[in-house]
Amino acid sequence: MLKLTVVSTPKTVQDQELWGKTAIAVDVLRATSTIVAAFEAGCSECYPANTLEEARAMRRTLGEGTLLGGERHGLPPDDFDLGNSPREYTKARLNGRLLVFVTTNGTLAIRRTGRSRHGLVASLANARAVALEAMRLRRDIVVICAGTQDRFSLEDTIGAGAIVDSLLKQGQKLALTDLATAASDLFTQHANKLPELLRRSVHGQTLIRLGFEADLARCAQLNVSEVVPVYYGTSIRPQLP
């Protein structure tokens, strides 16, 4: 029996709750969906940054050819190569490249996984692949939802629910926290209408207003990638199937 905890934001989990465990960062709209897209497009390594300044410094250190991607208030700063839309992360742009990536909520969740034994990055696209890897690692699991502005977000909770669902379908016995139970129930309720659910979320509504409605359909695609991004304390590298 593994214990599976879901927390609604990175701030609601203490370091000691992560020690020795497998931690999974989820930011469905859109950071972790975009990171999965980047690795699917052949990106070799992704450095998550907390601030724009840190991101720019990382690019200078990593040198020529390093791409800078991400957002503030949903949009990429002027000197960035890429925004936070998974649809921009194509093979033509990403193949073999290093990426420095900064977003408002997502990178914080990813960095928090660095306090655990194994840090993984999940979206709806690779939820099953990450669940299988977490099962193989045989440690208690903490799913860290990025949340929106330090609050519960519907889309990340559904992403957590997709992971629970894959584990249960594999026959994995789980002791679920209440938020994990709720995430699992919500996922089951909405599994066949995920695009609609993302449109109902507060952050989904914001993205529609900003002109990113097509991203919602993309981020709602379930189990379409086998990539398992692993966070090694400084950078994320894909563990390919």
Interacting residues with a copy of itself (CB under 8 A): 8, 12, 148, 151-155, 157, 177-179, 181-182, 185-186, 189-190, 200-203
Contact predicate 69/76, CB 8 Å? yes
DSSP 3-state of 121: strand
> Minimum CB separation from a copy of itself for residue 86, in Å?
21
CA distance 130 to 122: 6
Is the CB of 94 or the CB of 127 nearer to a copy of itself? 127
> Minimum CB separation from a copy of itself for residue 210, in Å?
17
Is the CB of 24 or the CB of 179 nearer to a copy of itself? 179
> Minimum CB separation from a copy of itself for residue 199, in Å?
11
- Asked, as a colleague might, if the bond just before 112 is cis with ω within 30 of 0, I would say no
H-only helix segments in the chain = 31-40, 52-62, 91-94, 106-112, 127-137, 154-169, 178-190, 194-200, 202-209, 213-219
> Minimum CB separation from a copy of itself for residue 168, in Å?
14
Partners of residue 7 on adjacent β-strands: 144
Q: H or E stretch including 77?
A: none
Is the CB of 102 or the CB of 207 nearer to a copy of itself? 207
Tokens 């086998």, residue located: 226
Is the CB of 187 or the CB of 212 nearer to a copy of itself? 187
> Minimum CB separation from a copy of itself for residue 179, in Å?
4
Is the CB of 123 or the CB of 153 nearer to a copy of itself? 153
Exposed/middle/buried for 27, CB within 10 Å: 0-12, 13-18, 19+?
A: buried
Is the CB of 137 or the CB of 191 nearer to a copy of itself? 191
Partners of residue 239 on adjacent β-strands: 228
> Minimum CB separation from a copy of itself for residue 187, in Å?
11
